[in-house]
Structure 1
Amino acid sequence: MVKEGELLVELTAAEMKAQIAEAESKVQAAEAELAQAEAQLAASQSTFDRMKKAAETPGAIAGNELIVAEKQADAAKAVINSRKQASQAAQASVQALKSLEAYLKITAPFAGVVTERIVHPGALVGSGSNEPLLVLQQNSHLRVTVAVPEENVGAIPKGAKVAFQVPAYPDRSFSGTIARRSQALDQKTRTMAVELDVMNPDQSLASGMYATVKWPVQRPKPALYVPKTSVVTTTERTFVNSGKERKSRVGKCRQRGRGWGLH
């Protein structure tokens, strides 16, 4: 049994760790360049502020010098913006690689049972392989698929409880709820697949078991079933002999499964 979110398989990829280390070094380099650019901006801005204050005194500095100092401060600000974008891009690259690395840890998407392990520790796996690593099944909530004959499709009571048994527990009866149907008939068997939702809290049932279903059939009008010995068949017709007071009452008969129904 495994819980939802529990670690199932952990893969290793040495080349990815190298890529992450390289990306982190680029982040450090970008941050160093950003710090250097901030220092240059502080120096240029300080020079411009001093010259601007000195320019308040007529003839203290040339007007061209003040313009040059202002342009240098503006250029330093542009370098700061460029360094910030480079640092953000480097950090985003690290986060992308770490997010990709997280896929190396495969966790359980739901609580269930690992029924089969295909690979073993040390095995080589890759993106080109379609073979699964393991099989995880959720046995607490199962589905039973029933092939319903065509003549009974119109009387499927949605939401009804259906009893069934499995060979593993011959003395125990289970039940499921009619949840959905395929809305298409199998052309070979002339049956429609109907699914039952089955709750399996004690894990008694397992995936792949065959079930014998006692299907509820609703009829528009009741049918009278009579013993097989009461049915008389001649070359002309089939009728029922009631045997009451040496008189015969004839009724039209139709065979239903293993018995006869009087309609």
Structure 2
Amino acid sequence: MKYFIAVAGIVVLTACESKAPLPVAAPANALDTVPVFVLHDTNVTKNIELPAELLPYEQAALFARVPGYVKDLKVDMGDKVRQGQTLAIIEAPELQTKYAEFQASLQAAKAKYMSSADVYQRLSKASQAKTPGIVAPVDLERSRNQYLADSASYEASRQLARSYKEVAGYLVLTAPFDGVVTARNADRGALVGNNQAILTVQRNNKLRLRVAVPELYVASGAVSKTANFRVDAFPNKLFQATLTRKSESIDPQTRTELWEYVFDNSSRELKTGSFAYVKLGLQRTGNSFILPPTAVVTNQERRFVIKVKDGKAAWVDVRQGMSTDKGLEVFGDLNNGDTLMVRATDERKPGSMAWWKVGHF
């Protein structure tokens, strides 16, 4: 009896196991579902912040044109000056002696010239008299040549004295424009020459704000002719400058183009030489394609996106442009209406197929 129950239990258990469903193997050619999106061009804008520098609108370093001693300094560092104002006087005894010497030589040459001119004029009038033979032609020619020689000598002395008078004018340093004395490098009695600036004058009621714009952005136009900037001295305050000019060339060392803005500094609030941080709003001329960063594949060999063409994957090489809040700007063989993978990878080989599910990124 016990043997029969055991056998019956085995039969029942076997029957139960035979009714369990068998696992079904997935088809070998099953396709996975891949999210894609339809490409549309758009207007590309970008806001960037770049370092800049504040420079004086004009700056001049004043040197002594001739060696001498500082006789007087009428200004000091920080003083405001007006155009034409006398700033310093240089004393050069040798130059003054030379000037007096050439002045004396000029007076001697002038006297000699006037004497020979008088002799020539008298002989010329006598030769024109009715009485022939009063003046020999040779004497008239000799007096004429002497007159021309003394005239040339007098003119040379006059020009030489004039040049020394102009050089003597270099002994007085005047302000080339309205501004502020920002440096004083000599004191009274100091020997100066043309190798060291005595004073530096800056015009700082207007400042030049110069920013080096990377080559990637130079083809993009500024959205506005004005730009906001800040400086470390006023961290919670924004200033505004106006775009006035561009260098129109790329610096081969930094690969940047210099953009210059002008800031009205009539209040003298900002100082020259300060570093600034400029916020620029840039806009691409014409529309471009913006893709999510995941749609662009970059490996050691190439940068590409995966386009769906005739239901199959195709690799399309692209060049990256600006990086924006919406995504990456790319250039390549792309057109409006193309279908691209949202999450591209180089494991998705060209020619492969999938269930392409269209969505938005």
Q: Normalising by structure 2, report the TM-score.
A: 0.52
* Alignment correspondent of 1:180: 246
1:203, 1:186 → 2: CA distance?
A: 35
* Alignment correspondent of 2:348: none
Aligned partner of 1:115 among 174, 182, 192? 182
* Alignment correspondent of 2:303: none
Matched, 1:36 2:115: yes
Q: Deviations over 1:150-190 (max 9, x none)?
A: 544432428711011223334543211232156436767x7
Q: CA deviation at 1:202?
A: 2.1
Per the alignment, in what secondary structure is the counterpart of residue 138 of structure 1? strand
Which protein has the bigger helix share? 1
Larger radius of gyration: 2
* Alignment correspondent of 1:155: 220
Q: 1:163 to 1:92 in 2, by over 3 A?
A: same
Alignment of 1:238-257 (within 5 A): none
1:260, 1:48 → 2: CA distance?
A: 102
Q: 1:42 to 1:210 in 2, by over 3 A?
A: closer
* Alignment correspondent of 2:232: 167
* Alignment correspondent of 2:204: 139
1:83, 1:180 → 2: CA distance?
A: 58
Equivalent pairs: percent with the same residue?
Answer: 29
Matched, 1:89 2:168: no
1:124, 1:99 → 2: CA distance?
A: 21
Alignment of 1:55-94 (within 5 A): 55=132, 66=133, 69-94=136-161
Q: Deviations over 1:228-256 (max 9, x none)?
A: xxxxxxxxxxxxxxxxxxxxxxxxxxxx7
2:191, 2:182 → 1: CA distance?
A: 21
Q: 1:173 to 1:80 in 2, by over 3 A?
A: same
Q: 1:82 to 1:185 in 2, by over 3 A?
A: closer
Q: 1:149 to 1:86 in 2, by over 3 A?
A: closer
Gaps of 5+ in 2: 1-79, 291-322, 328-359
Aligned partner of 1:201 among 261, 266, 287? 266
Counterpart residue identity of residue 273, structure 2: G
Q: CA deviation at 1:145?
A: 2.4
Gaps of 5+ in 1: 56-65, 224-255
Point out which structure has higher relative CO (alpha carbons under 8 A, 6+ apart). 2
Residues 34 and 84 of structure 1 are in contact (CA less than 8 Å); yes or no, is this contact kept in structure 2?
Answer: yes
Per the alignment, in what secondary structure is the counterpart of residue 119 of structure 1? coil
Which protein has the bigger strand share? 2
1:26, 1:216 → 2: CA distance?
A: 69
Q: Normalising by structure 1, report the TM-score.
A: 0.69
* Alignment correspondent of 2:98: 19
